[in-house]
Amino acid sequence: MHQPWMRALECIEYLQEGINSMQSADRSQWYEECVLCPHRCRVNRTQGEIGFCGQSSESRIARAALHFWEEPELSGVYDSADGDADDDNGRGSGTVFFTGCNLRCIYCQNHAISRDRLSGSRSEGASPGGDLDTDAAGDIGRIDRVGRNVDEEELADIFLDLQRQGARNINLVTAFMHMPHVLNALDIAKANGLSIPIVYNSSGYESLELLKAMEGYIDIYLPDLKYVSEDLAAELSHAPDYPRVAKAAIAEMVRQTKTIVRHLVLPGHVRESKRVLDYLYETYAELLGSGSCYAESLQEKNPHENSDPHRLQISIMSQYTPVAAALHALSGRKDFRPPEKGDGAPRNAHPELDRRITKREYDRVVDHAIALGITNAYIQGRSVAKESFIPPF
């Protein structure tokens, strides 16, 4: 058991080490003793060593395309008449999905790409930082490789091509593992005319050192805040330190620039959603209580009616989709199969996640936000809870 003052000293040491490790102007060196995320594996990814994320020192993407289902100010307005975003408001968010992840959420909505990892076991010494239980989680649900490697020039071309297609922004999804290359690619693209905003779309499980190294590159942070309860974070994402890490990361993001904190309401976990809102409001009341509530579905709101002056917003999301394959692969039980009534088959440990949320569950969370005084929030219509939110990877 740590004494509080010992924890403080460890935090100072942690920050100093991290800052030093990312001060090299040659960003490729950041892969050599990798501390790009809170796992702090310290593996040399340029030499084929594998950390928790399983990614090499080459950046790897699964999809780059215009995406219409982000918050309205990011995607533009979806026009159901022609199945496309309104040209006047831009033609979607220029979304680049990177492969791999540093969490192991059992309900992962992007499991088709998040489990991408090199084959082979983790390198000796690739033990994670914090209190993460990676022995239990590290190899769960591993799949064959997906996506493709891209070098910095190609990545810069992808950004520029998305801009040419009319993207309102470049939306980097789960990019932390590849940020040395991504930052270099942004430099190249900006030198060649990239001018649209850069969005950093994140689980919230980020290192402060990397965020500080990214300052000035990111125009809008888009982090999740999945839980504030350590027990639930351990149970559902194998990361008991997620609340501590994500809270610190969000504070740094808000310090730097505009931030939209996303919270995905999970079926059967309304109480946790209320606790997340309580934390955000108690911490950022001044930023969250002064705006107009976006009480329409994402498709219906015209972002240009509310050019956004707000530094912090919450996006309360109803779009949870049960992904049977993810629950199957990630339940931690190799013999798991979907239950048939009374057959005695091994069950998913969290059967509540095997359905969408109900209208009543979502309404209870939204009512709680309103009761707190949160007005600066995006609220989704229930009609958005459908499979189409998960892109075809």
List of residues contacting ligand SF4 (CB under 6 A): 34-37, 39-41, 43, 51-53, 55, 102, 177
Closer residue to ligand SF4 (CB): 52 or 78: 52
Question: How far are the Cα atoms of 261, 367, 377 from residue 317, in angstroms, in the given order?
Answer: 10, 14, 10
Closer residue to ligand SF4 (CB): 201 or 313: 201
Is the backbone of residue 62 left (phi > 0), alpha (psi -120 to 50) or beta?
Answer: alpha
Is the backbone of residue 226 left (phi > 0), alpha (psi -120 to 50) or beta?
Answer: alpha
Closer residue to ligand SF4 (CB): 17 or 300: 17
Shortest distance, CB of residue 320 to ligand SF4, whole angstroms?
Answer: 25
Closer residue to ligand SF4 (CB): 53 or 316: 53
Supply φ then ψ for residue 218, to 5 degrees. -105, 130
Shortest distance, CB of residue 32 to ligand SF4, whole angstroms?
Answer: 11
Closer residue to ligand SF4 (CB): 226 or 258: 226
CA–CA distance, 186 with 25 (Å, rounded to integer): 15
Shortest distance, CB of residue 184 to ligand SF4, whole angstroms?
Answer: 16
Burial class (CB in 10 A: 0-12, 13-18, 19+), 384: middle
Shortest distance, CB of residue 233 to ligand SF4, whole angstroms?
Answer: 17
CA–CA distance, 67 with 58 (Å, rounded to integer): 24
Shortest distance, CB of residue 392 to ligand SF4, whole angstroms?
Answer: 26
Helix, strand, coil percent content, the chain, rounded in steps of 5:
40, 15, 45
114 close to 147: Cβ distance less than 8 angstroms? no
Shortest distance, CB of residue 55 to ligand SF4, whole angstroms?
Answer: 6
Closer residue to ligand SF4 (CB): 39 or 63: 39
Q: Which residue's CB atom is positioned nearest to ligand SF4?
A: 51
Shortest distance, CB of residue 129 to ligand SF4, whole angstroms?
Answer: 8
Instruction: For 216-328, list the strands marked E by DSSP.
Output: 220-223, 258-264, 312-317
DSSP H helices in 119-238: 134-137, 152-164, 179-191, 208-214, 230-237
Closer residue to ligand SF4 (CB): 57 or 319: 57
